[in-house]
Structure 1
């Protein structure tokens, strides 16, 4: 479901698996037709037609505000779904998904990056993480996606991009109730979204995360992570891990999206459990809701 930038990334990832994409539910007819033609998808349909089909599973890559609604509809029919991050843009909608006990998996892709997994393994083996410094940068002064194409919905630093790093920090530390501080710059005068965001989390053990997010950045886009540890400093960008001197560090496993999507396929086949689920992804949403309340009070 969906034909935007993140759907393109899923199609690239699925090409490395044995999955066959048979249906597309587009947001727009023209762009959907181009997407289906490019990827040789035979059926373009609406949600009701998809729900009545015999698909084995669905990837929900629609606009963020629709994720919870679409996940709920698929869950009601018992159709397994991989729901793009964020699973909802309101905490109450995320909580509603968490109590469904349906075949749902949430696309918290950072958990599947071989670089982040290597750092988690290092921490679990005794390395002390002192400070996770996270930076998420895009240029979004116009309403365009990461490929530079116009979009009909407005992205969110808080309810989308911050969720990636908040979930990563909770996953790394095992602490779902950290201390929280947050500030935001002024919202965009037309789109209404916060354009700059600063967040600090502190775990019970004293580990910090400093998160800087911006829609005003001119330069490389995406999430950049610095792991400041007792035994050294490491950097992660997407699936690449480097040491303090910039030398590449070997990791194991496929790229984050391939590993994530394969986990979803394995869950459909009954070979493994879906993870993360709405329940295990919910703590990040609870933190983000608190960040939203803090920043909303600023304006």
Structure 2
């Protein structure tokens, strides 16, 4: 069958879901809960995963591979597979004429990101990536404060994402498959949040140190890092500092923070009580603390729902996705490649 490429704004897009682990299933359930799509097909090599997903989407065709999925009558594909597969799978779907929403990272390097974006532009199909922290109410409020000039000129940004746990999949600790360790897994969100909030200014310099079990790693190491610290300088004079880690003894499940320091005040997003899901935001004027957002906030599936709704409205290629190349370029420089 050929892709349906539905342009009827009154009909929900027919989507195929590739990769039905926790993230893939969560994004599918979020789209269904918001009535943002029709789940036409689900695909995963694991029969157990397919059976679990079928409970949420009983009318979907259950398949085991991307090749089978691409034979279905679809408008788009949602990809939540290991990172090494993202580029190949995204390209295959775009060449088929399908819109794509992919888990982060879209690809392992800036070059791979550029190839996917070029394919989306050529196919004129909507391409999205699940940079989900942009969609927290906390970060939305902070970005608005920066854009509206409430902080004055932002001259420094401090970011951290420390995860007391680490990935339980072996591929995530193989640099050839994952593209790196905690920096590409967690740091990608930090780099994106800083650049997105500040309007994607030019990055002029990047320095970093990567560690595995306390030992500093050389560039191109066959080991992935479990601790990364980096600094990047922006053309507008702002300095951005970030740190991220897996399995760090930090006294709580996670520490996820983004602090923006400006000439007229500051603002910060912080996770609450070590939570991976609950975030608060506040502005600062000297010692004054002005709340901007507090939990609860059901933000996890917002990026996916937003993409599906834009697709339902007939959206084609959106050049805003091109900023992913800048984020990936910063990460390439963090890794010294």
TM-score range, shorter chain: 0.7 to 0.9
Quote how far apart the aligned CAs of 1:13 are: 2.4
Q: Which has the higher strand share?
A: 2
Q: Aligned residue pairs: how many?
A: 284
- Cα distance in 2, alignment partners of residues 52 and 75 from structure 1: 13
Is the aligned partner of 1:28 residue 2:54?
no
Match of 1:65 among 46, 59, 84: 84
Deviates more, 1:127-136 or 1:60-69: 127-136
Against the structure 1 CA distance between its residues 21 and 28, is the aligned structure 2 distance closer, same or farther, given a 3 Å change threshold?
same
Instruction: Report what 1:80 is aligned to.
Output: 99
- Cα distance in 1, alignment partners of residues 43 and 214 from structure 2: 30
Is the aligned partner of 1:117 residue 2:140?
yes
Give 1:115-264 correspondences, 5 Å limit.
115-126=138-149, 127=151, 128-140=153-165, 143-144=167-168, 151-154=169-172, 156-173=181-198, 174-186=200-212, 192-218=223-249, 219-221=252-254, 223-236=256-269, 237=271, 240-243=280-283, 248-250=291-293, 255-264=298-307
Instruction: Report what 1:13 is aligned to.
Output: 30
- Cα distance in 2, alignment partners of residues 241 and 31 from structure 1: 36
- Tell me if structure 2 keeps the 8 A contact 1:59–1:81: yes
Quote how far apart the aligned CAs of 1:50 are: 0.8
Against the structure 1 CA distance between its residues 274 and 10, is the aligned structure 2 distance closer, same or farther, given a 3 Å change threshold?
farther
Instruction: Give the TM-score normalised by structure 1.
Output: 0.83
- Tell me if structure 2 keeps the 8 A contact 1:82–1:106: yes
Structure 2: give runs of 5+ residues left out of the alignment: 1-17, 174-180, 216-221, 272-276
RMSD: 2.8
Instruction: Report what 2:178 is aligned to.
Output: none
Greater C-alpha radius of gyration: 2
- Cα distance in 2, alignment partners of residues 214 and 250 from structure 1: 26
Quote how far apart the aligned CAs of 1:140 are: 4.1
Quote how far apart the aligned CAs of 1:180 are: 1.0
- Name the SS of the counterpart of 1:171 in structure 2: helix
Quote how far apart the aligned CAs of 1:285 are: 0.7
- Tell me if structure 2 keeps the 8 A contact 1:176–1:284: no
Quote how far apart the aligned CAs of 1:222 are: 6.2
Quote how far apart the aligned CAs of 1:233 are: 3.2
- Tell me if structure 1 keeps the 8 A contact 2:41–2:72: no
Quote how far apart the aligned CAs of 1:199 are: 0.8
Against the structure 1 CA distance between its residues 172 and 72, is the aligned structure 2 distance closer, same or farther, given a 3 Å change threshold?
same
Against the structure 1 CA distance between its residues 250 and 222, is the aligned structure 2 distance closer, same or farther, given a 3 Å change threshold?
closer
- Cα distance in 1, alignment partners of residues 45 and 256 from structure 2: 27
- Cα distance in 1, alignment partners of residues 50 and 255 from structure 2: 25
